[in-house]
Structure 1
Amino acid sequence: MKDLRNEDAPILEALNRYKSMRVLPFDVPGHKRGKGNPELTEFLGEKCLTIDVNSMKPLDNLCHPVSVIKDAEELAAKAFGAKHAFFMVNGTTSAVQAMVMSVCKKGEKIIMPRNVHRSAINTLILSGATPVYVNPGTNKEIGIPLGMSVKDVEKAILENRDAKAVLINNPTYYGICSNLKAITDLAHKYGMKVLVDEAHGTHFYFSDKLPMSAMEAGADMAAVSMHKTGGSLTQSSLLLINNDINKGYVHQIINLTQTTSASYLLLSSLDISRRNLALNGDKIVDRIIELAEYAREEVNKLGGYYAYSKELIDNDAVYDFDITKLSICTLGIGLAGIEVYSILRDDYDIQIEFGDLGNILAIISVGDEDLAIERLVSSLYDVKRLYAKDGAGMLDHEYINPEVVLTPQEAFYSEKESIPIEKSEGNICSEFVMCYPPGIPILAPGERITKEILEYIDYAKLKGCSLTGTEDEKIEFINVVKG
């Protein structure tokens, strides 16, 4: 094994060597280092286009790494405390798919919270695995789903001893964390694997001031969105494995769905960002915490808004909280989160991560400055001053317990018919309905359509949420299982 150091960046170094070699390209991509597409080169820059290259001997191959990509993955595993790290270029969606498909085959059970990202339920459609949903706790005061209670997970495990795995999303979009260590130990006691959708938790690995990471808790696999809070390019991610997980088999599963034409722009961004975090992660996260805590304090001084934090902790459905998340409840000013989101974007040129029916989330990163926080806070003050109204009739929750009738795969591939959504009550849904972001389904394939769900969808439309998932782009018709 090579003597690899945190300071190394094997993919970056290989690309720099390649650029100095003046290789004549008779391979793909067809733009030939930008020469064939001057307009694209002008837009993205020559430096970018010259490293948009194909896999080749000096640059290794993501489908079967033996040199520089292998070295870069080993360094990532070291930085994240994992047995191995796979570089993913199809986003964390592909990492979640690989996790589930590595441990669950068709018909086998997996225990998971229902407020998972659509990528997890998509995986059930692909694999045929059967979900056992654990309904999360809810906080109606701020209108959000919480984490999973250990008692609820234990009940699900005892009632489904044949389940192969437990999947946990930690943290949630809002920053809520479950008791990861207790759930992991419990699942392992009964011979189940633990998979963690850690899309929003990259930074957990680089600070002792934040909740426990999946690898520290002893989880078997974790999907980590490096691009969200780790500084890499959009669509680049990591899949971490631990314990006795078979690396070779997981790689075979990854290669079922991941591209054979991996982008070196994405790969090099993972390599560079890993090096930066390994060398400076504690300082980076300290700065993010400082900015987020200041922003939360200033927002709460405005009145009406509620930027929540560790006071939500109840050692049950809220075991811990990610203090880097600036999650703000807007119900106190009589506006849905999506309304505040739209006003900030349209009137103040401020793009936040998402707005739902009761909350907004502003992502704070090392790329932010004090002045940016001040602008956000002052804009929120203006929104309150100009648009606040009586909150009567506001929806008080973001989660409805589903009635699961069929597995997602059975429902999705069943014979179906399209009917007006207002006449669909009582039918079994065969597609998704969700607000995106955050991408947590309101309805998933196999679930009964109820009056409460239809009222929720109507309310979301009224408030301006971006609804997606159905074949019908206007969400006026919905596909249901043909009776």
Structure 2
Amino acid sequence: MENTEIDVETVVSHDGMPLTQFDTPIHKALEEQRLNRLAHFDVPGHKGGRGNKELREFLGEDTMRLDMNSMKPLDNLCHPTSVIKDAQALAAKAFGADEAFFIVNGATAAVQAMIMSCTEAGDKIIMPRNVHRSAINALVVNGAMPVYVNPGVNKRLGIPLGMSVEDVRRAIVENPDAKAILVNNPTYYGICSDIRSIVKIAHEHGMLVLADEAHGTHFYFGDNLPVSAMEAGADMAAVSMHKTGGSLTQSAILLTKNTVNADYVRQIINLTQTTSGSYLLLSSLDIARKNMSLNGRYLVNKSREYAEYARREINKLGGYYAFGIELINGDTVYDFDTTKLSVHTRDIGLAGIEVYDLLRDDYGIQIEFGDIGNILAIISGGDRNLEIERLISALSEIKRLHESEITGLFDHEYINPKIVMGPNKAFYSRKQPLLLRETKDRVCGEFVMCYPPGIPILAPGEMITQEIINYIEYAKEKGCLMTGTQDMNLEYINVVDEKGGN
């Protein structure tokens, strides 16, 4: 693996020493503690695995010994002053941010911290409706009000796209008191809005721009990819480092510019993030940042080449449509992430979730998700030629064995919502459970979504229409994992009690 264009610019550590992207402060401190033969009378109680031999045998002795608490030499995630502070400074430099915060509650916590640090109860925030549930969850908690910009929709694929700049401009003009704008960069399917133009318009009107970059970590390190949020001038970005950056699951980074008060953001993060940050997750962020800084260009370009090859070969099969840059229209699809392998399956008579299940059950291939019309395979520099060929061959076999008429298939993923009340008010209102088929024209009091991707079909405060009921019934029938409702079987939905009250 080759190192290319390595940034050797130094960062000054907490003790005045120079650090570069070759350094991993948290990793180094953990190694020193692992080797110093301390007698541990602190948590965790497994004491390096000696107190839980089965877990030690499963995860390995080294992993268990590195699972440590926030002792003085290891710093404290809630108030970093030494090695975590240094690691975060190196991450900020690597991503082109002014500050970086390590998150051990996933990009979900980073998205929520962004929203909660710039809005409070009653404040407006402009956002696309096809946001991840974490964004609307933040509104449920803090009482801010969404101003939704309906994304564009590709009618052939049935998927939501990005926000039109003119729609964003209109939302700003009609809501001059909004505090911020949230942008997906990119969507789950790899679609990007014109984030540079959105930043320019928002800043002209005194609004902050927040970017959900849960699926855009690699934008900071590869060639010929959409612009990253920090480069576009966004004020904050939530980066899910574990998805395409190589860290452990559940680890993420919140990036900020000096246009926001970083110390206040840290306080907001500490409202919900654990006080017992996992050093396994923290060190994985430290090491992954180093790896992406030194080798990211090679890894990301490799993943893009794999995805482009797979796209070409899958499209040769017929029936499938692995979509790419041809979708770019300069507006609702301003750019496309070519590392994403999104494949439309409806034209072979199969829902995406059916192809997902066939790949897993019959061919031993686990992809990221399948919805009612598409599948998504995440490609990274960790993949190999053999696995790419295996996926292509499996899709060919599935088409040969299972292709059928497309009659009766639901043809779109996104339904424009009708907002009746704010998410906070609806979620905490007095509610009553009704059978799904009886909820037409009632106000939803909870979330309904397929996971993945975790974009709500219904959010609290939205009107339940017959089209939405049909969509939910179809998704259930096809085997989508439905989440968000109090009823685990989704036979009932909690609707706002028409008598009102809390």
TM interval, short-chain normalised: over 0.9
Letter in 2 for 1:451: Q
Letter in 1 for 2:430: E
Letter in 2 for 1:407: G
Residue 465 (structure 2) pairs with residue 465 (structure 1): no
Mean Cα displacement is larger for which, 71-80 or 243-252? 243-252
What secondary structure is seen at the aligned counterpart in 2 of 1:152? Answer: helix
Equivalent pair of 1:180/1:217 in contact (CA under 8 Å)? yes
C-alpha distance in 2 between matches for 1:291 and 1:305: 18
C-alpha distance in 1 between matches for 2:469 and 2:72: 55
Residue 284 (structure 2) pairs with residue 284 (structure 1): no
Mean Cα displacement is larger for which, 277-286 or 439-448? 277-286
Letter in 2 for 1:233: L
Letter in 1 for 2:193: S
* CA positional deviation for 1:4: 1.1
Q: 2:369 pairs with 334, 347, 354, which one?
A: 354
Identify the residue that residue 72 of structure 2 maps to in structure 1.
57
Q: TM-score scaled to structure 2, two decimals? A: 0.96
C-alpha distance in 1 between matches for 2:33 and 2:483: 43
- 1:88-167 alignment runs, 5 A limit: 88-167=103-182
Equivalent pair of 1:176/1:321 in contact (CA under 8 Å)? yes
Residue 196 (structure 2) pairs with residue 171 (structure 1): no
Identify the residue that residue 250 of structure 2 maps to in structure 1.
235
- 1:401-420 alignment runs, 5 A limit: 401-420=416-435
* CA positional deviation for 1:429: 0.3
What secondary structure is seen at the aligned counterpart in 1 of 2:298? Answer: helix
Listed as ranges, the gaps of 5+ residues in structure 2 are 1-11
* CA positional deviation for 1:466: 1.0
- 1:178-257 alignment runs, 5 A limit: 178-257=193-272
C-alpha distance in 1 between matches for 2:407 and 2:105: 43
Q: TM-score scaled to structure 1, two decimals? A: 0.99
Identify the residue that residue 399 of structure 2 maps to in structure 1.
384
Identify the residue that residue 348 of structure 2 maps to in structure 1.
333
C-alpha distance in 2 between matches for 1:458 and 1:301: 33
> For each residue in 1:82-114, what CA deviation from the matched residue of structure 2 results, as whole angstroms up to 9, or x when unmatched?
001000000000000100000001100000000
C-alpha distance in 1 between matches for 2:345 and 2:319: 7
C-alpha distance in 1 between matches for 2:166 and 2:275: 43
C-alpha distance in 1 between matches for 2:415 and 2:377: 25
* CA positional deviation for 1:243: 3.3
Equivalent pair of 2:223/2:301 in contact (CA under 8 Å)? no
Letter in 2 for 1:262: G
What secondary structure is seen at the aligned counterpart in 1 of 2:375? Answer: strand
Identify the residue that residue 284 of structure 2 maps to in structure 1.
269
Listed as ranges, the gaps of 5+ residues in structure 1 are none
C-alpha distance in 1 between matches for 2:283 and 2:253: 13
C-alpha distance in 1 between matches for 2:145 and 2:118: 12
* CA positional deviation for 1:393: 2.5
- 1:471-482 alignment runs, 5 A limit: 471-482=486-497
C-alpha distance in 2 between matches for 1:229 and 1:338: 23
> For each residue in 1:11-63, what CA deviation from the matched residue of structure 2 results, as whole angstroms up to 9, or x when unmatched?
01101111111111000010011110011000000010001010011111101
Letter in 2 for 1:426: D
What secondary structure is seen at the aligned counterpart in 1 of 2:471? Answer: helix
C-alpha distance in 1 between matches for 2:29 and 2:479: 48
C-alpha distance in 2 between matches for 1:80 and 1:33: 34
Equivalent pair of 2:185/2:216 in contact (CA under 8 Å)? yes
Equivalent pair of 2:314/2:321 in contact (CA under 8 Å)? yes
- 1:25-104 alignment runs, 5 A limit: 25-104=40-119
Letter in 2 for 1:370: N
Letter in 2 for 1:326: L
Equivalent pair of 1:176/1:322 in contact (CA under 8 Å)? yes
Residue 378 (structure 2) pairs with residue 363 (structure 1): yes
Mean Cα displacement is larger for which, 239-248 or 369-378? 239-248
> For each residue in 1:212-234, what CA deviation from the matched residue of structure 2 results, as whole angstroms up to 9, or x when unmatched?
00000000000000000000000
What is the aligned-residue identity percentage?
66
C-alpha distance in 1 between matches for 2:226 and 2:25: 30
C-alpha distance in 2 between matches for 1:282 and 1:351: 26
What secondary structure is seen at the aligned counterpart in 2 of 1:442? Answer: strand
* CA positional deviation for 1:207: 1.9
Q: 1:258 pairs with 267, 273, 292, which one?
A: 273
Letter in 1 for 2:321: Y
What secondary structure is seen at the aligned counterpart in 2 of 1:49? Answer: helix
Q: 1:423 pairs with 417, 438, 442, which one?
A: 438
Letter in 2 for 1:361: L
Residue 415 (structure 2) pairs with residue 400 (structure 1): yes
C-alpha distance in 1 between matches for 2:290 and 2:171: 40
* CA positional deviation for 1:366: 1.1
Aligned CA RMSD, in angstroms, stands at 0.6
Letter in 2 for 1:165: A
Question: Aligned pairs, how many?
Answer: 483
C-alpha distance in 2 between matches for 1:244 and 1:196: 14
Letter in 2 for 1:450: T
Equivalent pair of 1:143/1:359 in contact (CA under 8 Å)? no
* CA positional deviation for 1:281: 1.1
C-alpha distance in 1 between matches for 2:31 and 2:268: 31
C-alpha distance in 2 between matches for 1:217 and 1:26: 48
* CA positional deviation for 1:395: 1.6
Equivalent pair of 1:222/1:239 in contact (CA under 8 Å)? yes
